[in-house]
């Protein structure tokens, strides 16, 4: 029995009719999408890919299914497949900032820093509050040796999300590379107060 049918039966048995009626409001492709999310949370990568692929088969214009399948491929370190899925998600929905972000991290993993920076920049243009895009763009600038731009990006990430220990850590490391020990130590102290364990 396919897992999705098993899930619906379990909902009927465990959640009762009212909860199952809520579940039935979803379309078939949305059910596969939700199943993909559940598999992703359990790191069941192949099952998640199968669920997202089925959602895409039913609705070939389902941008979030492409995006999330891209996330799974990224987790599996299959960056070319991830980039292809993010690109398709962007084709369908050019305002899907998170797809640009996902493609950016995939390019970064492939050491394609210019492409990563371009995608992070577009993600930020669409969603200026996407702190992770600033943090990751800062890391790409570090890899290119542009420490001042990296610090500016980490600082903006911290402004948006003052509890981002990663942004403090990365900015501290960049200050250290520049020889500014005092600012580096201040960022490392803040990072530790936020609970970051190196």
Q: Report the domain count for the chain.
A: 1
Is residue 83 predicted with pLDDT exceeding 70?
A: yes
CA–CA separation, 129 and 33 (whole Å): 26
Overall average pLDDT of the 90-98 stretch:
98
Q: What angle do CA 46, 40, 105 make, to 5 degrees?
A: 95
Question: Is 134 domain-assigned?
Answer: yes
Two tokens, residue 130: 């996407």
For residues 115-131, give the mean pLDDT. Answer: 98
Of the candidates 110, 107, 159, 92, the residue with the CA atom closest to the CA atom of residue 137:
107
Give residue 195's domain range: 129-198
Chain-centroid distance of CA 44 in Å reads: 17
User: Nearest-CA neighbor of 63 among 29, 38, 31, 35?
Assistant: 29
Does a structural domain hold residue 35?
no
CATH number at residue 144: 1.25.40.10
Residue 19 has pLDDT above 60, yes or no: no
d(CA 70, CA 64): 10
- The reply to whether 66 falls in a domain is no
| Residue 21 confidence (pLDDT) | 54
- Evaluate whether residue 17 is within a structural domain: no
Residue 150 in this model has a pLDDT that exceeds 60:
yes
User: Which of 117, 110, 128, 162 has its CA nearest to residue 171?
Assistant: 162
What's the chain's average pLDDT? 91
Does pLDDT of 1 surpass 50? Answer: no
Q: What is the mean pLDDT of residues 136-142?
A: 98
- Indicate whether 138 belongs to any domain: yes
Residue 164, domain member (yes or no)? yes
DSSP 154: H
pTM (predicted TM-score): 0.86
Longest CA pairwise span in the chain (Å) = 64
Is 82 among the domain residues?
Answer: no
């Amino acid at each position: 029995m396919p897992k999705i049918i098993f899930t619906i039966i379990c909902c009927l048995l465990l959640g009762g009719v009212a909860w199952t009626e809520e579940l039935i409001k979803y379309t078939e492709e949305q059910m596969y999408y939700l199943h993909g999310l559940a598999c992703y949370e359990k790191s069941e990568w192949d099952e998640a890919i199968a669920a997202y692929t089925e959602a895409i088969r039913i609705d070939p214009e389902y941008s979030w299914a492409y995006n999330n399948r891209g996330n799974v491929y990224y987790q599996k370190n299959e960056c070319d497949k991830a980039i292809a899925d993010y690109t398709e998600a962007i084709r369908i929905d050019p305002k899907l900032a998170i797809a640009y972000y996902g493609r950016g991290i995939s390019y970064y993993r492939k050491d394609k820093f210019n492409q990563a920076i371009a995608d992070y920049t577009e993600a930020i243009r669409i969603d200026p509050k996407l702190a992770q895009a600033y943090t990751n763009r800062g890391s790409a600038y570090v890899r290119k040796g542009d420490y001042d731009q990296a610090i500016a990006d980490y600082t903006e990430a911290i402004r948006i999300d003052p509890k981002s220990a990663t942004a403090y850590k990365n900015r501290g490391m960049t200050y250290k590379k520049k020889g500014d020990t005092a600012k580096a130590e201040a960022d490392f102290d803040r990072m530790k107060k936020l609970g970051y364990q190196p």
